[in-house]
């Protein structure tokens, strides 16, 4: 990625062959990340739809089955891009531009399928959770309300970042518009897509005190100064203590 930035702004001629060999790890990671977001949505849907069976899933086969498609997608696209690679001159060095148009089209189309599945499973989980909360309105806990709001935020962020950018890049290719317009959209399409990277972690970090506390504790095991740099733990303890005092008073 560093080469892509340097070559874009400080070089007059950029060739696809060199660009691919410096950015193919990003392509591989991007494909895995696209599939992982879809896997997280499927995992959430299963946890909401069949909670009791979900607890007894064996991780030895559950995780390999889920990760099979993303891994095949990542390896398949990367190997295909290498096989059909040419040395033509390109305007900007980034993952889409480093692949020939035919492989790039497959890349976007499969990505769009993963995005559709992600929206479907997230929306289905949201619908099931809403129905369960309405049926058992008297037993709704605060954590379930927070989970519902967090899920809505995840869906909105995904729709306006990854889903919209991938759909636009795929649409202009299928409509066969001006090649310069296609190249322009696909080159800058990586910017909104990057906002969706690890979106689950970002949203949970900002919306869940327990997630922040647990994450800080885990990171502190390897980086001790994180406790003092990010005193989330102490703040949450004081908040919890205030709530406890208020309950005792009542």
pLDDT tens per residue, range 136-178: 655 555 566 666 777 777 777 777 777 777 777 778 777 777 7
Hey, what are 130's tokens?
């809403």
Lookup result for tokens 């309950």: 247
Residue in 74, 63, 61 with CA at minimum distance from that of residue 34:
74
Q: How far is CA 192 from CA 23, 47, 210, in A?
A: 18, 29, 29
What is the pLDDT confidence band of residue 241, given thresholds at 50, 70 and 90? very low
pLDDT, residue 136, reads: 65
> pLDDT by residue (tens digit) across 20-51?
888 888 889 888 888 888 888 888 888 888 88
Distance of CA 195 to the CA centre of its chain: 8
233 vs 138, higher pLDDT: 138
Please list, in sequence order, all residues whose beta carbon lies within 8 angstroms of the beta carbon of residue 149, skipping any fewer than 6 positions away. Answer: 207
Q: Compute CA 120 distance to the chain's CA centroid, rounded to the nearest angstrom.
A: 15
CA proximity to 105, closest of 83, 77, 86, 129: 77
65-74, 155-164, 189-198, range with greatest mean pLDDT: 65-74
pLDDT score at 247: 38
Mean pLDDT of the chain: 75
pLDDT at 75: 93
């Amino acid at each position: 990625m560093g080469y892509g930035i340097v070559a874009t702004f400080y070089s007059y001629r950029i060739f696809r062959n060199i660009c691919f060999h410096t950015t193919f790890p990003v392509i591989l990671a991007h494909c895995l990340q696209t599939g992982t977001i879809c896997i997280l949505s499927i995992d959430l849907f299963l946890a909401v739809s069949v909670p009791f069976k979900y607890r007894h899933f064996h991780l030895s086969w559950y995780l390999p089955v889920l990760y099979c498609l993303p891994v095949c997608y990542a390896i398949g696209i990367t190997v295909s891009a290498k096989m059909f690679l040419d040395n033509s001159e390109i305007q900007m060095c980034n993952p889409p531009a480093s692949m020939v148009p035919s492989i790039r089209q497959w890349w976007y189309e499969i990505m769009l399928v993963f995005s559709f599945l992600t929206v479907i499973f997230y929306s289905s989980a949201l619908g099931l959770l809403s129905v369960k909360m309405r049926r058992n309105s008297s037993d709704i806990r605060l954590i379930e309300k927070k989970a519902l709001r967090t899920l809505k935020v995840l869906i909105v962020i995904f729709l306006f970042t990854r889903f919209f950018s991938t759909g636009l890049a795929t649409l202009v290719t299928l409509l066969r518009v001006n090649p310069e317009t296609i190249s322009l959209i696909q080159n800058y399409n990586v910017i909104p897509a990057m906002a969706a990277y690890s979106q689950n972690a970002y949203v949970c970090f900002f919306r869940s005190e327990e997630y922040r506390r647990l994450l800080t504790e885990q990171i502190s095991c390897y980086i001790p100064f994180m406790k003092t740099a990010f005193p989330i733990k102490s703040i949450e303890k004081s908040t919890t203590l205030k709530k406890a005092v208020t309950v005792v008073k009542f």
